[in-house]
C-alpha cells in the first residue's frame, strides 16, 4: 500500500516548521535597543515601536503607527550590536495611507527630517502590501555593518497621513565588542629621532 502523506514528526518539512524558520529569519526586531528607538511625527507617542514585532504577529491590525502633521515618518533604530541587513517588509493598509517610498540610511544616529536631505544608502518604491508578503532586498554590501538604521517614509499613495502596521527586518546580528579604551600619551617625552629628521630634510618653499 502506498504510504499516505502524513504530517507527523519527521515525515516531511511542514508548514509550521517553515513558518518557524521564516520567523527566525525576521528576528532582528529582538536586536533593537528599544529604550533609544525613535519615531518622528508619530501621532500617538510610542506607537512607532509597536510595528517591530514577531513575523507571526505581523497581521495584528490593533498595533500600528500613524503619522501626525503630514504623511512623513522617520524611524531611528539603534541596534544592540552590529547588523547585516538583508531585507525589509513594510505592511500597511490597501489604500492611500500605505507608504509609497522608503529610504534607508545607516549609522546616522538621531536623524531629523532636515537630515533626510542627504542621499540615502538605498531607496525603494513600495507597493501596497496589506498582508506583509513583499520583501525588499537590500544591497548587503552597504548594510553589512549597521549599528543604527534610519528609515524615512517621505510619501504615501495620496492620503493625508501614513499608516504602517508592521516593519520586518531580516538579517544577521553580531554582538558588539566593547574594547577597553586605552589612552596613550605619546608626547610624554620627545623622541630625538623625530627632531633629527627635521634638520636633515631640505625645506623647499614654493612662491606662487
Whether the per-residue pLDDT at 102 is higher than 70: the answer is yes
Domain assignment present for 141:
yes
Residue 201 lies in a domain: no
Residue 178 binned pLDDT confidence (cut-offs 50, 70, 90): low
Whether residue 21 is contained in a domain is answered as no
pLDDT of residue 204: 47
| Higher local confidence (pLDDT), 42 or 184 | 42
What pTM was estimated for this model as a whole? 0.77
What CA–CA distance (Å, rounded) separates 104 from 155? 14
Provide the number of structural domains found in the chain.
Answer: 1
User: Cell 520567523 sits at which residue?
Assistant: 23
Would 10 be classed as within a structural domain?
no
Where in the sequence is the domain holding 138, given as residue range(s)? 37-172
Answer whether residue 188 is part of any domain: no
In a domain, 119, yes or no: yes
27 lies in a domain? no
User: Is residue 59 included in any domain, yes or no?
Assistant: yes
pLDDT in tens, 116-143: 999 999 999 999 999 999 999 999 999 9
Nearest Cα neighbor of 170 from 74, 55, 82 is: 55
pLDDT at 25: 84
pLDDT tens per residue across span 44-58:
999 999 999 999 999
187 neighbors 123 (Cβ within 8 angstroms): no
Check which CATH number belongs to the domain holding 152 and give it: 2.60.120.470
Amino acid at each position: 500500500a502506498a504510504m499516505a502523506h502524513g504530517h507527523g514528526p519527521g515525515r516531511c518539512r511542514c508548514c509550521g516548521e517553515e513558518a518557524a524558520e521564516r520567523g527566525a529569519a525576521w528576528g532582528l526586531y529582538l536586536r533593537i535597543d528599544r529604550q533609544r528607538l525613535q519615531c518622528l511625527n508619530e501621532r500617538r507617542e510610542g506607537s512607532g515601536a509597536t510595528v517591530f514585532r514577531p513575523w507571526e504577529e505581523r497581521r495584528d491590525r490593533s498595533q500600528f503607527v500613524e503619522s501626525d502633521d503630514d504623511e512623513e515618518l522617520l524611524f531611528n533604530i539603534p541596534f544592540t550590536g552590529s547588523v547585516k541587513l538583508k531585507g525589509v517588509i513594510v505592511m500597511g493598509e490597501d489604500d492611500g495611507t500605505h507608504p509609497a517610498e522608503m529610504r534607508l540610511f545607516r549609522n546616522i544616529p538621531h536623524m531629523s527630517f532636515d537630515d533626510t536631505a542627504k542621499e540615502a544608502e538605498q531607496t525603494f518604491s513600495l507597493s501596497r502590501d496589506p498582508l506583509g508578503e513583499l520583501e525588499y532586498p537590500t544591497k548587503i554590501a552597504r548594510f553589512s555593518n549597521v549599528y543604527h538604521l534610519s528609515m524615512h517614509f517621505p510619501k504615501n499613495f495620496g492620503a493625508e497621513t501614513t499608516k504602517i502596521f508592521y516593519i520586518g527586518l531580516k538579517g544577521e546580528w553580531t554582538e558588539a565588542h566593547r574594547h577597553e579604551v586605552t589612552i596613550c600619551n605619546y608626547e610624554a617625552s620627545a623622541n630625538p629621532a623625530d627632531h633629527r629628521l627635521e634638520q636633515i630634510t631640505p625645506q623647499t618653499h614654493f612662491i606662487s
